[in-house]
Structure 1
Amino acid sequence: MPDSLPPLGLLLDVDGPIASPVTRTIRRDSIIADLITLAAANVPIAFITGRSSLFIREQVISPLLAAGLPETMRMYGVCEKGAVWFPITAAGMGTAVVDPSVALPTAAVDAIRSLVHNRFADTMFFDETKQAMVSVEQRTDAADADYAAAAADFNDASFAILTGLGLGVRFGDRVSPDASGAVPFRIDPTIISTDIESVTLDKDHGAERALAFFAESGPLPRVWRSVGDSRSDYLMADHLHTAGYEVAHVDVRPSDGVLDRPYPVIVEGDLIHDAAGASFLSYWVDKLGLRQR
């Protein structure tokens, strides 16, 4: 691995800046091409996501492999907000490690699965690919308004089920401790899904794990960018800022509210989601003089 200081490091959420939240795929060829170009230029790239390792393998790594990943690069995946992690090489996804200590009890998983199948199957599906957290996701044939209404009911019903099982759960302003007074789990909705997860999991946890991995293979860049479409994605930049790096966060859905942070927050004009993500990557390929003429 090159000993020279990399010019940039990237921590990337997947849904939104890389994969379209509508199609759930990488639909812009420029994103694939620019990721490969940056990786070949010794830019460490980590995908830090709530998605499962199977989703990342099929929807992110497979198109990167098809386009030709460089033999020498530093690429990493942190899935389920830090519960699952693996290296990515020119041969594809390495062995995934799962942290079983953050998983929900089997009874809770089964109860949520039954809730989805019995009451909400017309608007959402239970994500069977998750290995530690529980997730449900909007069906692609469900209207946004229909899903939003169903998700509100689902979240309330999930809170009731989990607390009924004696689990300590947080959902927004509602907090229900377990018998020991602990609250180890939370319900975390997004625009297309709801995650039920350990409170120890989040994007700052994923960022810490990615930096530790990259540090094993060479010097870390001083300049970093994190990119995401949710307010929780700012936690990646929070970790980098606290660790003393020069960082800015790129918000590809600023309509949800740009957070006040002690580091720059970047928006890509009027572009959002993967259009904004594509613009961001293109900017850095040009800035680093990597564009093929």
Structure 2
Amino acid sequence: MQHMKERLGEGVVDEVYFFDVDGVITVPDSRQFDREIMEDIARRLSQGEPVILNTGRSISWIQTRIIARLIHAHNLKDNSSLANLFVVGEKGGTWLTLDEDGLMHEHRDDSISVPQDLQDEVRLVVEERFPKTMFFDRTKHTMISVEMNEVNDRRYEGELSLEAFERDQIRLVEVLGEILKKRGLDKILEIDPTTIATDIQNKKVGKDFAARKAIAWLEAKGFKSERFVAVGDSKSDLATAEELHNNGYDVQFVFVGAESDREDIQRGNPVFPIFFPEGKFNKGTVEFLRRKTSQVL
């Protein structure tokens, strides 16, 4: 398969970054954005470099929490800079592009949506059995997401932690598995527990499915690069790097997640380089970005 350098236009960049969002550019417990990481993203966009956000989040959440922040908190008001950002939401079910005039264009793949009555059943389970640690995300269009409540939510002050969520998440996954099996949907839908959420999604979607949309966008925009970096905090994020590698690209995966997951990834003997920062989650992302900056200097 041809390398990107041979088949794209003239928009040469040193590296293309793929970032997961939660736990990678945000603090897992508080969901607050890491300012240093956001400034790095804003700098790359303003320098004409493409940045890909590959997340399970909804497009509406990305618009209000990330793009608005880039514009107002990080002074990224040049529309041509924002046009270098590509967001894949719901693990490939939705995606967002911005044009040179700063207009946002939302896209959705309705063929992979989950049944409405299943959404209703899961919402009731969450509201009745796990209200102190998680909530049903009503902003999703093509998947179901049950997300960890924010630690700074005063309703659950002193009762909520990442550990408490993880305990309830184990129980939730068991319940969801029973629901899918009872409905005969376990052949087409799957459960994906991540750092701060539990998703029910079509088996077609995933970080690899989303990465293919990003690759198509890069080609359409005329970007080319010899190096790619994918940053994630869950084992499922490894699929981003695998998809890039399978398409013939030189990729490095940066894993900033839990120690137990790091061991699983290493046992898988990946065929591309993986960097494990000492820091976890957003601290690991900052550590890697600083390391890259010092190498350039």
TM above 0.5, one fold? yes
Q: CA deviation at 1:238?
A: 0.7
Q: Tell me what 2:164 maps to.
A: 146
Q: Tell me what 1:188 maps to.
A: 192
Is residue 25–residue 59 contact of structure 1 (8 Å, CA) maintained in 2? Answer: no
> Paired residue for 1:85, among 95, 99, 105?
95
Question: Structure 1 residue 163 and structure 2 residue 181: aligned?
Answer: yes
Is residue 38–residue 285 contact of structure 1 (8 Å, CA) maintained in 2? Answer: no
Cα 1:245–1:29 change in 2 (3 A) is same
d(CA) in 2 for partners of 1:71 and 1:286? Answer: 29
Is residue 61–residue 92 contact of structure 1 (8 Å, CA) maintained in 2? Answer: no
Q: CA deviation at 1:51?
A: 1.1
Q: CA deviation at 1:23?
A: 1.4
1:18-97 residue pairs with structure 2 within 5 A? 18-26=25-33, 28-66=34-72, 67-69=74-76, 70-73=78-81, 74-88=84-98, 94-97=104-107
Is residue 123–residue 136 contact of structure 2 (8 Å, CA) maintained in 1? Answer: yes
Task: Return 142-151 or 223-232, whichever deviates more.
Answer: 142-151
Q: Tell me what 2:4 maps to.
A: none
Question: Structure 1 residue 120 and structure 2 residue 130: aligned?
Answer: yes
Q: Tell me what 1:10 maps to.
A: 17
Q: Tell me what 2:241 maps to.
A: 237
With normalisation by structure 2, the TM-score equals: 0.85
Is residue 226–residue 236 contact of structure 1 (8 Å, CA) maintained in 2? Answer: yes
Is residue 57–residue 93 contact of structure 1 (8 Å, CA) maintained in 2? Answer: no
Q: CA deviation at 1:90?
A: 7.3
d(CA) in 2 for partners of 1:285 and 1:36? Answer: 15
Structure number with the higher helix fraction is 2
Q: Tell me what 1:262 maps to.
A: 271
What one-letter code is carried by the residue in structure 2 that aligns with 1:81?
A: K
d(CA) in 2 for partners of 1:261 and 1:156? Answer: 30
Q: CA deviation at 1:143?
A: 2.9
Is residue 34–residue 282 contact of structure 1 (8 Å, CA) maintained in 2? Answer: no
Cα 1:101–1:267 change in 2 (3 A) is same
Q: CA deviation at 1:72?
A: 2.8
Q: Tell me what 1:177 maps to.
A: none
Q: Which runs of 5+ in 1 are unaligned?
A: 170-182
Is residue 14–residue 48 contact of structure 1 (8 Å, CA) maintained in 2? Answer: yes
Q: CA deviation at 1:91?
A: 6.4
Identity of aligned residues (%): 29
With normalisation by structure 1, the TM-score equals: 0.86
d(CA) in 2 for partners of 1:231 and 1:34? Answer: 24
Q: CA deviation at 1:92?
A: 5.6
Task: Return 81-90 or 206-215, whichever deviates more.
Answer: 81-90
